[in-house]
Amino acid sequence: MQDLRDKMKFQLTTDLDGWLRFKAEKKLRKNGCQMLASQDKISEQGQQERSVDRG
């Protein structure tokens, strides 16, 4: 049971992190900082690969 709870908590935090990054990226794009936003996407892809390894 505890394992499931931890898994859900992890899922919530990753979703929240992704949402916050998405909002920040939109703000960046509005300000015309495309380069920063694309760099963020690259690091996000790396993070997703790492989380797959962990799971």
Per-residue pLDDT tens, the chain, 55 aa: give them: 678 887 777 777 777 788 888 888 888 777 765 555 566 666 666 666 656 665 5
SS3 21: helix
The amino acid sitting at 35 is: M
How far is Cα 55 from Cα 44, in angstroms, rounded to an integer? 16
Q: What is the pTM of this model?
A: 0.34
How many angstroms separate the CA atoms of 25 and 4, rounded?
31
Q: Residue 55 to residues 34, 37, 40: CA-CA distances in angstroms?
A: 32, 27, 22
Residue-range domain boundaries for the chain: 2-54
